[in-house]
Chain A
Amino acid sequence: MADEDDDIVLAELDDDELVQQMHDDLYDGLKEEIEEGTNILLERGWAPYKVLTEALVAGMKVVGDDFRDGILFVPEVLLAANAMKTGMGILRPLLAETDAPKMGTMVIGTVKGDIHDIGKNLVSMMMEGAGFDVVDLGINNAVENYLEALEREEAAILGMSALLTTTMPYMKVVIDQLKEKGIRDQIIVLVGGAPLNEEFGRAIGADAYCRDAAVAVETAKQLIAARKHNQVAAG
């Protein structure tokens, strides 16, 4: 099979075949192939947003689903994410120039005392792929970092990540500060990380616990849509 794969010339595939091949290449974490496929679709006149959604995001959805179902594991997802990142790197400046739909801004970061960022980086990338502007604060964020970024970016969503049982309670510190400042209701708070669960998310007052990046994207879309609906209803 490897020989057959080696023989595939991406430029000779029609659009549907190429998109399907890119899904396979994303699944296999093949960066160079994703870079090449992205450029071919753009050269064929595809809008950047169409390349993003149909070739990259749809391909990553398969990766996300198989991760959720225990078919793929973290290393394979990271390789796929790296490949998608390459495609995103090509598309990002083009998307900025076009009128691709914007979903809103998310501020995201790993909480104070915690340096783990694999899941958080996956969420960042998948959210960006879904049309959100993502402001990634990186690791080890004190409450002030989150508050300052939320205000500066006029963000609709706050994402917090923690890998440690000892650091995850800090999420409540941040949420309590949002309440104290009277802005809690303006922000959708999503939390995630290996030791978290739905019960913890509820207990600290988050809007949702997201068990993986794909769930984070779907949850963010639903909550943003519900918020818009409520705003229209109220107006």
Chain B
Amino acid sequence: MTRPAPEDPRPEDPRPEDLGPEDLGIDDAALTVEGLSAPAAAPEGAPRTRLIACGALAREILALIRLNGWSHLDLKCLPAQLHLRPELIPDAVEAEVARARGRFDAIKVVYADCGTGGLLAKRCQELGVEMIPGPHCYSFFDGNETFAARGDAEMTCFYLTDFLVRQFDAFVWKPMGLDRHPQLRDMLFGNYTTLVHLAQVEDPALDRKAEEAAARLGLAHQRRFTGYGDLAAFLAAAR
């Protein structure tokens, strides 16, 4: 596979067969509660861009960095569990922006709106930092235009990314109380019909886990390979 030179970072268009369940040395449970720091590989003094991202995206961002040789990208992931309290995301992002100011040539935010009701976009605008467009990661993995076009046809779909499949218990089952009160399942998920697994990589083991998650929720299962969607282009432009 030909890789673009670091000085000309354009995204590779990963084919499904290129995307295996690589071991990036990532602990999903740690991503959920602690986040992650992955310094840029670029030598001291070279231009560097700090990515402030959701922990749920760490694996995908690191895979793209490795795939494309984007050594100028420096990743700081906040704990993915912030998603359970979206109102805390703008302040958490702002604190990271403050820490990164003056230390990097550019700062980019790799959070979509993520349930903040426009507050994160407003905060990023005030801070003068760009964030990835889209209502949530389901949308930008699918491609924002594609996802928007699905519209009401998928109103009854419940989405999981690869990360959320792996962390199904931590992000869905336990926060919804289904470990303690399984009788609430139909009250919580009764209006959904289908669990759609938006797959970033080819991983049969993960597919089976998604099928199991659907069965536990009493939903039909559908797998849709998305690859990295709009994330790749956003990171390619992150100089």
Contacts and interface: CB of A to CB of B under 8 A. Distances in A.
A115 B189 CA distance: 10
Interface of A: 73-76, 78-79, 82, 112-118, 139-140, 164-166, 168, 194-197, 199-200
Nearest to B119: A197
Interface in B25-67: none
A79 B184 contact: yes
Given A116-B191, A118-B188, A165-B115, A194 B86 contact: yes
Interface of B: 86, 113, 115-119, 135-136, 148, 151-152, 155-156, 175-178, 180-181, 184, 187-188, 191-192
B154 to A, nearest CB: 10
B152 A139 contact: no
Contacts of A115: 155-156, 191-192
21 contacts: A73-B177, A75-B181, A75-B184, A78-B181, A78-B187, A79-B184, A82-B187, A115-B155, A115-B156, A115-B191, A115-B192, A118-B187, A165-B113, A165-B115, A165-B117, A165-B136, A166-B135, A166-B148, A194-B86, A194-B115, A197-B117
A165 B135 contact: yes
Given A117-B191, A164-B135, A196 B117 contact: yes
B86 A195 contact: yes
Contacts of B116: 195
Contact of A75 (B117, B136, B176): B176
A113 B176 contact: no
B74 to A, nearest CB: 28
A200 B178 CA distance: 32
Given A118-B188, A194-B86, A75 B180 contact: yes
A76 B117 contact: no
B187 to A, nearest CB: 6
Contacts of A113: 151-152, 155
A117 B191 CA distance: 9
Nearest to A193: B117
Nearest to B176: A75
B119 to A, nearest CB: 6
A195 B118 CA distance: 8
Contacts of A164: 135
Given A74-B176, A115-B155, 14 more contacts: A78-B181, A78-B187, A82-B187, A113-B155, A115-B192, A117-B191, A139-B191, A140-B155, A164-B135, A165-B115, A195-B117, A195-B118, A197-B119, A199-B119
B135 A78 contact: no
A165 B118 contact: yes
A140 B191 CA distance: 11
A193 to B, nearest CB: 9
Contacts of A74: 176-177
Contacts of A194: 86, 115, 117
B191 A76 contact: no
Nearest to A73: B177
A79 B181 contact: yes
Contacts of A73: 175, 177
A55 B117 CA distance: 36
A195 B87 CA distance: 8
Contacts of B156: 115
B155 A200 contact: no
Which of A76, A78, A116, A199 is the most central at the interface, judged by chain B CB atoms within 10 Å of its CB? A78
Nearest to A115: B191
Contacts of B155: 113-115, 140
B159 to A, nearest CB: 11
